[in-house]
Amino acid sequence: MAQNAPHEPPRGSYMKLNDFQLCSTFGWRAIEVPSVLWISYFFVQLLTAEVEYASEAVKRGTCAVGVKGKECVILGCEKRTTLKLQDPRITPSKICKVDNHALLAFAGLNADARILVDKARVEAQSHRLTLEDAVTIEYLTKYVAGVQQKYTQSGGVRPFGIATIIAGFDANDTVPRLYQTEPSGVYNSWKAHAIGRSSKTVREFLEKNYEEDMDDEQTIKLTIKSLLEVVQTGAKNIEVAVLKPNDQIHSMTVDEIKKYVDEIEEEKAAEAEKKKPSRD
């Protein structure tokens, strides 16, 4: 059997890399790294970078908020200003109906969201046809998160550049459900949460003002109030959806949102007036 020369790298399935070589004047004294391990290391680093880029797309997307009340769950989103020549009737909404009892709000790339929402809708209808029952909100969340995770490790694709907030009620149940998924495929359950641009500011506001067992009016008001922390143009750039048990979904009109915005502005003005020093 042929022997390796004293100063020749060993033959076999090993790759000599300068970063891993510790050579001496007496011959090869290298840390041998199997090529498959180096390829795996490179692949993991590449995927990590891609997931970070997807998360950056989420941070640049418009803000979305979800808040649970005692018998409702509210989703609110910041809308981009419609261009003068743009038809507002066919402008995609940031709050999408997945099934009669489930809504999904997103922050990030609209085109990616369209694909992911379509997949979620197909899965929800497939579940109905197969099991003759509506999909649970947790199952739907796991499915969406699973698709997002799959796209972080499959060849020829990239991670979805969106984060989602999934809300709704399970069949024959009055407990509101609120979940959030990330581009990496991680998902969590929340009482209130925000994603997208300036979401940290909104989350801090929610942490200070959220209360357990809020009624419908209080929950809607808190959702809109939290969005006004980052939305400066008022009701026309906010969309809100209200979910209640038994497949009750209501998308609020601009006039309905404006009533809450006006009420919030009046309260802020009254508080500012109280803080003014008295002139005695």
CA 76 to chain centre: 13
What residue ranges define each of the domains in the chain, with the CATH number in brackets?
Answer: 50-271 (3.60.20.10)
Q: What is the pLDDT of residues 146-156, one digit of tens each?
A: 999 999 988 88
Number of neighbouring beta carbons within 10 Å of residue 170: 19
Q: Is the pLDDT of residue 192 over 80?
A: yes
The residue-averaged pLDDT of 175-187 equals: 96
pTM of the predicted structure, to 2 decimals: 0.81
CA distance 11 to 16: 10
Give me the pLDDT at residue 43, please: 52
Q: What is the pLDDT of residues 205-243, one digit of tens each?
A: 999 999 999 999 999 999 999 999 998 877 888 999 999
From the number of C-beta atoms within 10 Å of its C-beta (0-12, 13-18, 19+), residue 229 rates as middle
Give me the pLDDT at residue 148, please: 97
DSSP states of 159-189: --SEEEEEEEE-TT---EEEEEE-TTS-EEE
Give me the pLDDT at residue 15, please: 40
CA distance 154 to 160: 12
Number of neighbouring beta carbons within 10 Å of residue 113: 23
Q: What is the pLDDT of residues 13-60, one digit of tens each?
A: 334 444 444 344 334 444 444 544 444 544 555 567 888 889 899 999
Band the pLDDT of 187: cuts 50, 70, 90.
Answer: very high
* Residue that is written with structure tokens 């997945």 in the block: 98
Give me the pLDDT at residue 44, please: 56
CA distance 55 to 276: 43
> Are 67 and 223 a contacting pair, CB within 8 Å?
yes
